[in-house]
Amino acid sequence: MKKNSTNPIIAIDGHSSTGKSSYAKMLAKELNWKHIDTGAMYRAVTLYGIQNFPEGKYIDNQALVSHLSDIHIDFIYNPETQNNDTLMNGENVESEIRGFKVSELVSLVAKIPEVRNFLVKQQREIGKKGGVVMDGRDIGTVVFPCADLKLFITASIDERAKRRFLDFQQQNKTISLEEIKENLKQRDYIDQNREVSPLTQSPDAILIDNSHLNKQETYQKILAITKEKFGNILP
């Protein structure tokens, strides 16, 4: 993949519930670039599997793989939330893909090689013109290994579980802190140990551990790194 320094790519990878997507969104807004949340794409495929090919508590992976070409994912700007909502086959699924059921199964779907191939192709297509901040798990390692700036965000498991717990509480969803922590641990394990493009920090990525940083402090750090790298292109 060729590097395009006039229209750069910023790759933000890292663990679940570190706020990657929020920071990517804030940064893209500041730069007036496009933001792509690739986790949302894996979540949309998972939702499609739950809806169409349930197999007990899980998803019939084979059936899902043979119907991947039926899944069309798009993003649409929502002026109310100033967010890019996810569309699956024309339906706005932004809220559904963030639910606990999808969160429970998404890592299992994301480890299927055919699913990864299917989505990585689309991610490269969306990002190829540059001017994009893309967040996920394998952006700096696989999707755009020549990204102009790579960040890897992490935080302790307790801190991440606490943040996710507060998010769910705000949405009036009753899930215990223990359940959330267990889900995060499982996802970390599956994401880091899958055979195809496991979650790992690219050697040239800058590590940000935000266990002891609040949202604003983390974002200021990201902004400072971005300014150092691209000072001349910040509006």
Residues forming the site for ligand DC (CB under 6 A)? 16, 38-39, 42-43, 106-107, 110, 136-138, 187, 191
Least distance (Å) between residue 107 CB and ligand DC? 4
Residue type, 155: A
Taking alpha carbons only, the member of 1, 133, 114, 2 closest to residue 49 is 114
Question: Which residues are CB-contacts of 61 (< 8 A; sequence separation ≥ 6)?
Answer: 49, 108, 109, 112
Instruction: From 149, 35, 143, 54, select the one nearest 102 (Cα to Cα).
Output: 54
Nearer to ligand DC, 124 or 221 (CB): 124
Q: Give the nearest distance from C-beta 113 to ligand DC in angstroms.
A: 12
Which CB sits closer to ligand DC, 94 or 219?
94
Find the shortest distance in angstroms from Cβ 202 to ligand DC: 13
CB of 100 to ligand DC, least distance (A): 12
Residue number, 83 or 233, with CB nearest to ligand DC: 83
Q: Which amino acid is at 144?
A: F
Q: Which is nearer to ligand DC, 53 or 233 (CB)?
A: 53
31 or 139: CB nearest ligand DC: 139
Q: How far is the CB of 190 from ligand DC (least distance, A)?
A: 7
Tokens for 167, please give them: 């998010």
Quick one: which of 173, 145, 47, 45 has its CA closest to 102?
47
Closer residue to ligand DC in complex, CB, 13/130:
13
- Which residue carries 């480890």 as its tokens? 111
Instruction: State which residue, 124 or 233, has the beta carbon closest to ligand DC.
Output: 124
76-94: b or e for each residue (b if 16 or more CB lie within 10 Å)? eeeeeeebbbbbbeeeebb
Q: What span, in angstroms and rounded, lies between the C-alpha atoms of 144 and 7?
A: 13
Contact between 58 and 49 under an 8 Å Cβ cutoff? The reply is no
To ligand DC, the closest distance from the beta carbon of 232 in angstroms equals 29
Nearest distance in Å: CB 234, ligand DC: 26
d(CA 180, CA 163): 10
